A and B are shown apart, each in its own frame.
Chain A
Amino acid sequence: MRRLFSLSLICTLVFAGVAGSTTVIPPTFDALVSGAGTIFVGEVMDQRAYWISTPQGRAIRTQVVFKVEDVWKGSAGAVTQLDFLGGTIGETTMEVVGMPTFRVGQRNVLFVAAERAISPLVGFMHGRMRVDRDHLGVDRVRTNDGRSLGSINEVGPQRPSLMLSITPMRLSELASAVKARAGAERMR
């Protein structure tokens, strides 16, 4: 196992990369928490795309409705909706690179940005984590692209490029870390 760990460490050093995503510089865990006005766990109940008119033309937005299971920071109603730029209406699709997309029934941890911006989530896809329940009934956390999130140290610019954490961290561990960080903010 030590050899496997060593291999993992080497891979981390080789593939960690320098800056961040082209579209978004990945926020650190602390920046993710501090940039969020509300952090909640929610299951997608429904979603609906609609056209909007803008001064420069038109665009598609998708309203996603979440059943809120738990709120870790700020406040959110039992049913909360977020609007994401992009979506599909009939034959036409507008995509925004890096904007998360959802399916009904998916459970997520959502870091909702404190300030209104093109993405309602902090750092676009970085502000969404997936929640999967394992065969033992334990809720575990994955990144937006479905990779195992081993610990909060793997959030942000140092996120490994390879799947290094075989077992994703527990949702309860993430909740504790978020609440501790949010509490530390309030203490300042």
Chain B
Amino acid sequence: MSARHALGALGVLVVVFATSDTTRGFATLGSKWPNGSIVVNLQLTPPSGSLIDGHPNFDAAATTALATLNQYTDLVKFSAVPASTRPRGDGDLVNHVFFDSRYYNESFGPNTLAVTTRWTIGGTQRAEGDVVFNTAFAWNSYRGNVMTINGRETWDLVRVAMHEFGHLLGLDHPDEQGQSVNALMNSRIGNLDSLTADDIAGLRALYGAGGVTSNISFPPRNETNDFFRQLLALYENELRAARVTTYLDDEGKVVWIAEYTYYRVGQCDHSTAQSRIFRQIIEQITIGVCALTPAGSISFPPRNEGLQFMVAVDDLYRTQLGRSALTSFVDGEGAVVWVMEYLRYRLNGCGHGDAVSRVFAQIRGQGTPPVCRP
């Protein structure tokens, strides 16, 4: 083989190796948080006017970033404390996120958007992480390409925060580990404004408890809670229901029925769904669903299984968690039937108000179409 051909072969070999790297994916830093809640103190609050994407302030934008990451972790969950009043400090085992013109009294230096520090104990266990955003730059919250506003490059806090919080969790820059993947965790930020499959795979590798990430978006919890408040009022005022004894409070009912539905829609059978929720309650470990939900109309579990679950959770609260007896106008059966019906409408194309009125029409014995989606 001539020297020229040998060089050509070497060149091809290098390209092949470089291509192979693209399939390796995310990079991690070798340390993790212990299972449980990671409390993050947010002190980013201004401005008074809404940000471009509608967030009322930067704490809300950062909370969205934390919640987005939470969707893909089971063993740990960020717990945001907006408008925190905790005194800022480094090395205090408290996680702080705030704006400042300096990083703990030290100049950022030019071109530094944000500084993230991580504290690790024993080489593997994370103990603290602080993120300080530099006020020398213009910040907002928006989706899409990087914006220039009034002649200034303006940074989207949500995507920068997701990147920095990814570091807090233990993700590194894949592009600085010889890999070429599309990832928000790459060392450069730009027009990419959301987590990619590679970022999610990294989060699952660090903090996944098994299972599959659901492909179904459930309605926000505040809307399901709002539905239940209206249901309580209807049971009390219109149906004149008597109070019943329960060990699970009304908010808990909504949360766990929604979780049970989440697993069932995610192709788990009754006992698997119930055992995963019990692990959530007792061990605070969230596990993925059993399989992706098939496209088309989303089918729901039989009501008797939902009721069995409700009885079991109520018993768990009474026996294992030692909760006291409470009263409610909606009994366990009513809660299961109507919350699941509300969720069924929501997952099949109905908005909040539409789903509420369709459920209430059923309760009042009126006919209503089964789904909103054509």
Contacts and interface: CB of A to CB of B under 8 A. Distances in A.
Interface of A: 1, 4, 7, 15, 17-27, 31, 35, 54-60, 85-86, 91-98, 113, 115-119, 122-124, 145-147, 157, 161-163, 166
Contacts of B188: 17-22, 26, 157, 161
Max count, chain A CB within 10 A of own CB: residue among B146, B173, B188: B188
B90 A59 contact: yes
B146 A57 contact: no
Contacts, number: 153
The 4 A-B residue pairs with the shortest CB-CB distance, nearest first, are A18-B190, A117-B109, A57-B89, A145-B176
Nearest to A94: B119
Interface string B94-128: 00000000011111111111111111111100000
B34 interface: no
- Interface size band for B: 35 or more
A58 B163 CA distance: 25
Contact of A97 (B15, B107, B118): B118
B106 A19 contact: no
5 contacts: A18-B189, A18-B191, A35-B110, A97-B118, A124-B112
B169 to A, nearest CB: 12
A76 B90 CA distance: 32
A33 to B, nearest CB: 13
A123 B114 CA distance: 12
A86 B18 CA distance: 32
A21 B121 contact: no
B28 interface: no
B341 interface: no
A97 B132 CA distance: 12
Contacts of B90: 54, 56-59
A53 B251 CA distance: 46
Contacts of B186: 17, 161
Nearest to B164: A22
A117 B180 contact: no
B146 A54 contact: no
Nearest to B111: A25
Given A15-B180, A22-B164, A115 B146 contact: no
A24 B111 contact: yes
A95 B28 CA distance: 14
B104 to A, nearest CB: 5
Given A18-B191, A54-B104, 11 more contacts: A1-B8, A1-B11, A18-B190, A21-B188, A24-B113, A91-B122, A92-B120, A94-B91, A118-B103, A123-B109, A145-B177
B358 interface: no
B92 interface: yes
Contacts of B122: 91
A56 B89 contact: yes
B105 A56 contact: yes
A4 B19 CA distance: 13
B14 interface: yes
A96 B14 CA distance: 33
Contact of A161 (B92, B121, B180): B180
B113 A25 contact: yes
Given A18-B191, A19-B189, A25-B111, A54 B105 contact: yes
Contacts of B91: 57-60, 94
A12 B112 CA distance: 24
A13 to B, nearest CB: 14
Contacts of A162: 18, 180
Contacts of B117: 85-86, 94-97
Contacts of A157: 188
A18 B167 contact: no
A95 B120 contact: yes
B206 to A, nearest CB: 16
Max count, chain A CB within 10 A of own CB: residue among B113, B121, B164: B113
A24 B111 CA distance: 6
Nearest to B89: A57
Contact of A117 (B89, B108, B120, B123): B108
Nearest to A144: B176
B333 to A, nearest CB: 51
Interface string B154-168: 000000100110010
A78 to B, nearest CB: 27
A97 B120 CA distance: 13
B88 interface: yes
B146 A19 contact: yes
